[in-house]
Amino acid sequence: MITEISIMRTLLSILGITLVVGVNAIFVVWFERKVAGHMQYRLGPTEVGPAGLLQTVADGLKLVSKQIIFPQSADKPIFILAPIICLVPVFIALLPVPFSATWQAHELDMGLLLVIALGLLNTLGILLAGWGCDNKYALLGASRAVAQILAYKIPLLLCILPIILLAGTFSLREIVLVQEQSTWFALYQPVGFLIYLIAITLETNRSPFDFAEAESELVAGFHTEYSGMMFSLFFLAEYTYMLVASAIASILFLGGWLGPFFPGPVWMLIKIYFFLFLMMWFRWTFPRVRVDQMLSFGWKILLPISLLNFLITAGVMAAL
Amino acid sequence: MMTSYAQDIITGLSSLLTGMKVTIKTMFTKGHTVQWPRQTAQLPLNFRGHIRLVANDSTGFAKCIACGSCVRACPSNCIEVKGEKPEGAKKKSPTLFRLDFTKCSLCGLCVESCPVAAITFSRDYALAGLTSEPFAAMNLLDEVASPFAGEEQ
Amino acid sequence: MSLIETALNKHSLSPEPLEYSATGLHAKIVIKGDQLKPICRSLYSAGFFLETVTAVDNLSTEIMQGLWFFNHYKESSRLMIVIEASRKNPVFPSIGVLYPGAIWHEREAAEFFGITYEGSKDQRGLLLPEDVNFHPLRKDFKRPEHQITGIH
Amino acid sequence: MFESQTAPTYHLETVEEQENDFILNLGPQHPGTHGVLRVILHMDGEYILTADPVLGYGHRMQEKIAENMTWSQVLPYMARMDYLSALSYNQAWVCLVEKMCEYEVPRRAEYIRVLTTELNRISSHLLWFGAFLLDLGAFTPFLHAFEDRETLLDLLESLTGSRLTYCFFRFGGVGADVDAAFLRGAQDFVKQMHTKLPRYHELVTGNVIFRERTRDVGVILPFDTWGYGLSGPVLRGSGEQYDVRTSEPYSIYPELDFNVPVEQSGDCLARYLVRLNEIDESLKIIEQTLANMPEGPIKSKVPKIIKPPEGEASMAVETPRGELMIYAVSDGGKVPYRVKYRVPSFANLSIFSKMARGQLLADALAILGSLDLVIPEIDR
């Protein structure tokens, strides 16, 4: 039933999500640059704001003020649509994510399914970007993004299935509440946890699996031709996607907002940033995997192990 | 086959963890960064800036005798020297000593070729400008006193 | 020396030994153009590697010297092969079929000196811009009228 | 672990350019080519059918420049060819002229030359190490290598006055004498590298992703090596123990005790290992020169105007990239009559189109990186 209160609530939560997305992007980009800098004997940003915290704001302002260049042979509607298609789904995917028992934009019975489904749209955005700008490097990058999608999505789903079996629900909020009764699912599903970690790195196109960008091979991959604000939309989408993936990971495996001493949202943020830090750590340590090696890695290692993991879980559950 | 499959995965994973150990250790080590302009790095003793003329300690005039050996030694043709004898002097003095720094490759052949050690390297490093003109014709005589100073006026 | 002598044994050539400490070369032979390919075949099968292919333009004697440098991985034996041709229209045989690495050296020497390497599969230029019509390393080369302007 | 599918192999003869071929211009501005190299790739999806390098974007006609310079004026131009190993080029030129004019070189000068050249070799290999990993998509090793290289460049700058394009060697000696601070700095650097090299191995060599990316990629078979005139680590990765420093010893190399690292497999990994082991060997050489540094003058007397007698001479040295040979003809005048630079990267790149055929685009860039190219040296 639509009441005034529920409308207000929805509006407020959309505002909240926008705030979370914006602040998160500003902070995570700064955080990543700091982590990268210190891992490489550098300092990272130091000049703008305290400890360089406002560097991202300055960079954002620069990007916004820049001219957007349209390649002459680009397919203009697709060219413009692509970054939006990349950003909007990850934005919506934050709706069902609970930051505490009460801090949740919109409770959905099928929250997990929605997030998974929206995750797929990101690849569509990349494909459109690669196709629309009529650049060979971008096309190669986009085709790589599409080629890898099955290789990680199936293991990803096969890692989530045991969690659903354990929790008996698709609702993100209830999955956490089940963990409150027992314990973190990461302890039941260590293998699934590991594979999920690899799969979200793949899903967010992060190094060592950043073939779609692959700077040293494809210049900038699918966003080679994008400049200014449209480029920063891709950037925003990537970092928001990382946030969503980390949030889902902490909900599924590390008990979401559960934890002693601090209030729920703090724990949730701690867990999210733990995952974000892990992904940064991967990125600034490893070389890039080759595309065909990643595919065979996905099909020959991730898939059988996650399938085995699922079957064992299902067997044990049935026996109990 | 199964064991080698599992072994590959385990050795692979452990090699990744070793790499991650190195980067996390690095996070807590200090690097070389010097935050210019708040801090400045020390210039090495043999630093080669653009060339400059050495002044004679007693007179303050340039030691240069305008012999032109630096002009001949220069591989990039970036030095221009003219000189004449000031009244009552035994040796010539430069009336013009111009360096085209845009061409200079800082090889130091001019410094070595000088018979009276009248050229040396400056220690200027923050050389930047909006146009190339100031560097295309650097007048090196500006820094030293000139025996012709009275005559020009 | 021994490696060079064994390799060139059947060609009944006597390489002129050079003072290594003074020239950095072990031997030098001056041959005719049609001898190059058989000699290179022997050198190739003896495992000699190609250092470079180049030329020296001699304005006073009107001779273009084609130079081929070889050496061996196992035992240092630097061999210089010289073929002389008229500098008007120098033509040398190409050894690109035997030594694939020679193709680039030949392309370079061809555009620098205006040499034709007969039988080369690849006659394009290599280092100079595509539209040049001069050969800069010829001794009678004058800088072309065309001047690049607008460099600051 | 990640077994790669066997790549389809194509032969040059069977591939014809077709209208709807996917042609990719790799370069001249591309982050993976490290300079202005352009490679025209005909591709089938991600697989490369043919690769044709296009050179000359950085061409300066160094050989003609040398014909217009006096013998000593050529010296600064040496550093502009291979900017990463300027001192090896310095050495080739001064040794060549010393050979032609029969100048004596004091022993202390020879020691300083070898010491600084080997330091320069390490700095070149360190930069290559970083750049190669950058090609493979790892950014951190690049800056880790630069951290160590920074110490090295500071050290060399304190002696030579420049950080990259050194013009330090002189006919009959060197430009400046080493002082106690430099020797101490060099010793400290050797110590530092002995602790840092194992870190590189931990960070990179053992890494499973790195090994899969480089093993069996870009294999140079031994019977290809002499046809293309390969030299340096590219050759030694294919099992041939050829190093000018041992085969035609110049300077004080015969007195020094060092090994020439060789790997048999001929792939990118082999070339990588050869170079990292070479850093180790260079450290050994540096330790020996530091221990035995003789006292004495650093420069013998040479005439101001250099006129080598009529004749020809060649001089080969081992740069970090392979064999550099300079062939010069003198007509007895103040300027060289003809100078020919035989540069290692030129020959090493010429095999690229053969290696890239039938490989993935990602592999082609790994191969390009493993060849350790310096484009200004190729273009001259």
**Ordered mean pLDDT values, 10 residues apiece, chain A (320 residues):** 75 84 88 89 86 88 87 86 88 84 77 86 87 86 86 88 86 83 82 88 84 80 85 88 89 83 84 90 89 86 90 86
- The minimal CB distance from D2 to the residues A40, A143, A296 is found for A296
Using an 8 Å Cβ cutoff, are D328 and D314 in contact? yes
Using an 8 Å Cβ cutoff, are D85 and D377 in contact? no
**pLDDT lower than 70: segments of chain C:** 1, 144-152
Q: Which two tokens stand for residue D19?
A: 């209208």
In total, the C-beta contacts within 8 angstroms joining chain C to chain D are 106
Q: How many whole angstroms separate alpha carbon A74 and alpha carbon A225?
A: 9
Q: Would A42 be classed as within a structural domain?
A: no
What is the predicted pLDDT for the residue at C152? Answer: 44
User: For a pLDDT cut of 90, what percent of chain A falls above it?
Assistant: 1
Q: How many whole angstroms separate alpha carbon C62 and alpha carbon C59?
A: 5
For range D289-315, the mean pLDDT:
87
| Domain extent for A238 | 66-319
State CA D240 to chain mean position distance. Answer: 17
Q: Which CATH class is domain C2-118?
A: alpha beta
Longest dimension (CA), chain B: 99
What is the predicted pLDDT for the residue at C147? Answer: 58
The more confident residue out of B91 and D220 is: D220
Asked if D32 and A217 come within 8 Å (Cβ–Cβ), the reply is: yes
Which residues neighbour C55 within 8 Å (Cβ) at sequence distance 6 or greater? C64, C65, C66, C67, C90, C109, C112, C113, C115, C137
The helix/strand/coil state of B76 is: coil
Q: Which two tokens stand for residue B34?
A: 């010097």
For range D105-119, the mean pLDDT:
91
| Residue range D19-74, pLDDT digits in tens | 667 888 887 888 877 778 888 888 887 888 888 888 888 888 888 888 888 888 88
For range D229-234, the mean pLDDT:
89
What is the predicted pLDDT for the residue at D118? Answer: 92
What is the pTM assigned to this prediction?
Answer: 0.89
Residues from chain B contacting residue D165 (CB–CB below 8 Å): 105
Residues from chain A contacting residue D144 (CB–CB below 8 Å): 40-41
- Measured in angstroms, the CA of B55 and the nearest CA of chain D are apart by 22
Q: Would A30 be classed as within a structural domain?
A: no
Q: How many whole angstroms separate alpha carbon D242 and alpha carbon D232?
A: 7
Judge C/A contact: 3 or more CB pairs < 8 A. no
- Measured in angstroms, the CA of B19 and the nearest CA of chain A are apart by 6
Name the band, by pLDDT with cuts 50, 70 and 90, for residue B23: confident
Which residues neighbour D317 within 8 Å (Cβ) at sequence distance 6 or greater? D88, D91, D92, D95, D244, D245, D250, D323, D324
Asked if C97 reaches chain D (Cβ–Cβ under 8 Å), the answer is no
What stretches of B21-130 adopt beta strand conformation (E)?
Answer: 51-53, 79-84, 93-99, 119-121
Q: How many whole angstroms separate alpha carbon D156 and alpha carbon D186?
A: 9
Please enumerate, as own/partner, the contacts of D192-196 that have beta carbons within 8 Å and a separation of 24 or more.
Answer: D192/D148, D192/D151, D193/D122, D193/D148, D193/D279, D193/D283, D194/D283, D196/D148
Longest dimension (CA), chain D: 70
Residue in A164, A84, A73 with CA at minimum distance from that of residue A116: A164
Residue B58 CB neighbour total at 10 angstroms: 6
Structural domains present in chain B: 51-146 (3.30.70.3270)
- For chain C positions 9-48, those within 8 Å of chain D (CB to CB) are 21-25, 44, 47-48
Asked if D161 reaches chain B (Cβ–Cβ under 8 Å), the answer is yes
Sign of CA dihedral D270, D274, D280, D281: positive
- Measured in angstroms, the CA of C79 and the nearest CA of chain D are apart by 11
Residue D11 confidence (pLDDT) above 50: no
Q: Got the DSSP string for A9-42?
A: HHHHHHHHHHHHHHHHHHHHHHHHHHHHHHHTT-
Buried b (16+ CB within 10 A) or exposed e, A122-147: bbbbbbbbbbbbbbbbbbbbbbbbeb
- Give the mean pLDDT of chain D: 86
**Closest-CA residue of chain A to D150:** A41
For range D135-142, the mean pLDDT:
88
Q: Would A36 be classed as within a structural domain?
A: no
Asked if A41 reaches chain B (Cβ–Cβ under 8 Å), the answer is yes
Q: Which two tokens stand for residue D313?
A: 């001479």
Task: Establish whether the linkage from the previous residue to C100 is cis, with ω within 30° of 0.
Answer: no
Asked if C25 and D64 come within 8 Å (Cβ–Cβ), the reply is: no
- The minimal CB distance from C23 to the residues D61, D231, D313 is found for D313
- Is residue D15 classed exposed, middle or buried when 0-12, 13-18 and 19+ CB atoms within 10 A define those classes? middle
User: For a pLDDT cut of 70, what percent of chain D falls above it?
Assistant: 95
Asked if A40 reaches chain B (Cβ–Cβ under 8 Å), the answer is yes
Q: How many whole angstroms separate alpha carbon D124 and alpha carbon D85?
A: 6
Name the band, by pLDDT with cuts 50, 70 and 90, for residue D2: very low
Looking at residue B124, its amino acid is D
Alpha helices in chain A (DSSP H): 4-39, 55-65, 76-92, 111-132, 136-167, 172-181, 185-188, 190-203, 215-218, 228-253, 264-283, 291-297, 303-319
Which residues neighbour D156 within 8 Å (Cβ) at sequence distance 6 or greater? D116, D119, D120, D123, D163, D166
Q: How many whole angstroms separate alpha carbon A73 and alpha carbon A87?
A: 24
What is the predicted pLDDT for the residue at D122? Answer: 92
Task: Establish whether the linkage from the previous residue to A265 is cis, with ω within 30° of 0.
Answer: no
Q: Would A156 be classed as within a structural domain?
A: yes
Q: How many whole angstroms separate alpha carbon B59 and alpha carbon B61?
A: 5
Find chains touching chain A: ≥3 CB pairs under 8 Å. B, D
Asked if D161 and B18 come within 8 Å (Cβ–Cβ), the reply is: no
Side-chain half-sphere CA neighbours of D22 within 13 A: 14
What is the predicted pLDDT for the residue at D14? Answer: 46
For range D110-115, the mean pLDDT:
91
- The minimal CB distance from A140 to the residues D32, D46, D209 is found for D46
For range D182-186, the mean pLDDT:
90
Asked if C56 reaches chain D (Cβ–Cβ under 8 Å), the answer is yes
- Measured in angstroms, the CA of D171 and the nearest CA of chain B are apart by 12
Asked if C101 and D329 come within 8 Å (Cβ–Cβ), the reply is: no
Q: How many whole angstroms separate alpha carbon A39 and alpha carbon D8?
A: 39
Asked if A136 and D22 come within 8 Å (Cβ–Cβ), the reply is: yes
For chain C, give every domain's residue range. 2-118
Q: How many whole angstroms separate alpha carbon A53 and alpha carbon C16?
A: 74
What is the predicted pLDDT for the residue at C142? Answer: 78
Residue D242 CB neighbour total at 10 angstroms: 24
Question: What are the residues of chain D with a beta carbon less than 8 Å away from any beta carbon of chain C?
Answer: 55-56, 59, 61, 63-64, 67, 96, 99, 102, 225-231, 235, 240-242, 247-248, 311-316, 323, 325, 327, 329, 337-338, 340, 342, 346-347, 350-351, 354, 379-380
| Residue range A272-299, pLDDT digits in tens | 999 999 999 998 888 888 888 888 888 8
Using an 8 Å Cβ cutoff, are A39 and D140 in contact? yes
Residue in A172, A157, A22, A47 with CA at minimum distance from that of residue A100: A172
Name the band, by pLDDT with cuts 50, 70 and 90, for residue D5: very low
For chain D, give every domain's residue range. 12-54, 62-379
Asked if D138 and A215 come within 8 Å (Cβ–Cβ), the reply is: no
Q: How far apart are the first and last CA of chain A?
A: 40
| Residue range B28-87, pLDDT digits in tens | 888 778 888 888 878 888 888 888 888 877 777 778 888 888 888 888 888 888 888 777
Residue in D69, D34, D287, D61 with CA at minimum distance from that of residue D142: D34
Q: Which fold has domain D62-379?
A: Cytochrome-c3 Hydrogenase; chain B (1.10.645)
Q: Would A107 be classed as within a structural domain?
A: yes
For range D124-138, the mean pLDDT:
90
Nearest 5°: phi and psi at D321?
A: -100, -10
Asked if A281 reaches chain B (Cβ–Cβ under 8 Å), the answer is yes
The helix/strand/coil state of A97 is: coil
Q: Would A20 be classed as within a structural domain?
A: no
Asked if D167 and B73 come within 8 Å (Cβ–Cβ), the reply is: no
Of A61-70, B131-140, D357-366, which gets the smallest average pLDDT? Answer: B131-140
With vertex at residue C128, the alpha carbon angle to CA C122 and CA C134, rounded to the nearest 5 degrees, is 95
Residues from chain A contacting residue B16 (CB–CB below 8 Å): 285-286
Q: Would A41 be classed as within a structural domain?
A: no
Asked if B108 and D161 come within 8 Å (Cβ–Cβ), the reply is: yes
Which helix (H) or strand (E) covers residue D319, if one does?
strand D311-319
Residue in D220, D264, D224 with CA at minimum distance from that of residue D356: D220
Name the band, by pLDDT with cuts 50, 70 and 90, for residue D163: confident
Tally of domains within chain A: 1
Q: How many whole angstroms separate alpha carbon D239 and alpha carbon D226?
A: 12
Residues from chain D contacting residue C67 (CB–CB below 8 Å): 327, 340
Please enumerate, as own/partner, the contacts of A141-144 that have beta carbons within 8 Å and a separation of 24 or more.
Answer: A141/A211, A141/A212, A141/A213, A141/A214, A141/A218, A141/A220, A141/A221, A141/A222, A141/A224, A142/A212, A142/A221, A142/A222, A143/D45, A144/A211, A144/A212, A144/A214, A144/A221, A144/A291, A144/D46
- The minimal CB distance from A41 to the residues B19, B20, B26 is found for B26
What is the predicted pLDDT for the residue at D1? Answer: 41
What is the predicted pLDDT for the residue at D125? Answer: 92
Using an 8 Å Cβ cutoff, are D369 and D26 in contact? no
Q: Which two tokens stand for residue D38?
A: 């352009």
Nearest 5°: phi and psi at C93?
A: -75, 150
The helix/strand/coil state of D317 is: strand
Nearest 5°: phi and psi at C125?
A: -75, 175
